[in-house]
Structure formats: C-alpha cells, structure tokens
Amino acid sequence: MDMNRRQFFKACASGLGGSSLAMLGFSPQPVLAETREFKLARATETRNTCPYCSVGCGILMYGLGDKAKNVAAEIIHIEGDPDHPVNRGTLCPKGAGLLDFIHSENRLKYPEYRGPGEKEWKRISWDEALTKVAKLMKADRDANFIAKTADGKTVNRWLTTGMLAASASSNEAGYITHKVVRPMGMLVFDNQARV
Ligand code: SF4
C-alpha cells in the first residue's frame, strides 16, 4: 500500500494510542456498549412483529415519552428481537429500515375514503370505516350468496368478496379470522403468511 510520510505518522499514532489504551484497561468494546446503553436508558421497550413479509421477524421498538397525555411519544430505535424464535435478533435490510417507515411522511395512519366520482381522499374515523365495510359486505353477501347449486347440493358459498389478512398475524389472530369469515360462506381468503 502506498503511504506518504504524514499518513505513516498518523497510522502509527492511532495504533499506539489504541494499544496503549487497551493496555490501560480502556478496551473500546465496553465504551461502545455504554454508548448504546445510554441511548436506550430512558426508552420504553415494546415487542412487535415486522409488518413487511411473511417471515414475521420479531422486533424490539424503543420509544421516548412517558405516555402522559401532554407528551408525544416517539420511536427512536428498532432492532431484531434476540429472543424471537424466527429471527434470533437478525433483520433483513427492509426490517432494518423500519424506523424510516415509521417516520415517513407518506405513512397512512388512519382510514381514508374516496366516494364514487370524487377526486380527493378524505380522512374518516375507524368507526365510520368499519361501519362502511360491514354495510358493503352485508349488501354484497345478500345479493350474491349461493345456498344451493343448480342440482340441489347445499354449498352456502359467498364468492364475490374476499379477505386478505395481514402478514404479521399470529396463529391466534389467523384462527379467529377463519372463525369470522368461513361461517359467512367466504371462500376467497388468504394471508401473506398463508394461514
Ligand atoms: S425483517 Fe425482513 S425477513 Fe423479517 S419479516 Fe421483516 S421483511 Fe421479512
């Protein structure tokens, strides 16, 4: 490797400094660990699941804010959950970028509705959104439910509405989703995690 005189002295000085500090007991490793501790010391740790794909990696989210009404909580750090059986603390690049996803200005945080013929999406409450979905489902089921086939076999099918559940659903959430949609006759049902 080519090195000029200035670079040579710089390398020697940093090498000497590093080894001398290590000999005096100042190994850089604990120092780095302390920096991390300090960053997360006052944070609240919350376990969650990466929302992106069907692997369903476990994550630890660290937030600041004591949950008082006048304090806006903020997520400051996310990392893989070392105790999670799926990923054992690892995350792929998508999962590792979750902090940017959370703070993105484009992130949708509430239901929106665009009526027939309208150009703009309008924010609506969860109550309005769920009521609207329930009414549309009922109207569609009433209009298209098939109780029997042409030759008289009972089938109780509803084929014109489908359900796509989230990839981060747990087994329990998947089970409950089945229990909700199957008794209504819905056959078109999928989940990114393939429940
Ligand atoms: S971290 Fe990557 S592999 Fe894991 S669930 Fe998220 S997107 Fe999928």
pLDDT of residue 54: 80
Per-residue pLDDT, 35 = 61
**For ligand 1, mutation pick of 53, 54, 87 (most atoms within 8 Å of CB):** 53
Q: Distance, CA 89 to ligand 1 centroid (Å)?
A: 11
Distance CA 132, CA 126 (A): 10
The pLDDT-based confidence of 20 (bands split at 50, 70, 90) is very low
pLDDT over 60 at 80, yes or no: yes
For position 141, what pLDDT does the model report?
97
**Strands, E assignment, the chain:** 44-49, 58-64, 74-80, 112-113, 122-123, 146-148, 154-157, 163-165, 189-191
So what's the pLDDT on residue 56?
86
Residue 85 has pLDDT above 80, yes or no: yes
Residue length of the chain:
195
pLDDT band of residue 18 (cuts 50, 70, 90) is very low
**Is residue 8 over pLDDT 60?**
no
- For 95, the enclosing helix (H) or strand (E) is helix 93-96
55 lines ligand 1 (CB under 6 A): yes
Q: What is the mean pLDDT of residues 14-37?
A: 55
Q: Averaged over 59-64, what is the pLDDT?
A: 94
16/46: higher pLDDT: 46
94 lines ligand 1 (CB under 6 A): yes
Q: What is the mean pLDDT of residues 65-82?
A: 86
Q: How far apart are CA 78 and CA 46, in angstroms?
A: 10
Which two tokens mark 172?
A: 């329990």
CB atoms within 10 A of CB 10: 12
Joined tokens for residue 192:
């990114």
Residue type, 184: M
Across 60-97, b (16+ Cβ under 10 Å) vs e yields bbbbeeeeeeeeeeebbebbbbeebeebeeebeeebee
Q: CA-to-CA distance for 67 and 141, rounded, in angstroms?
A: 43
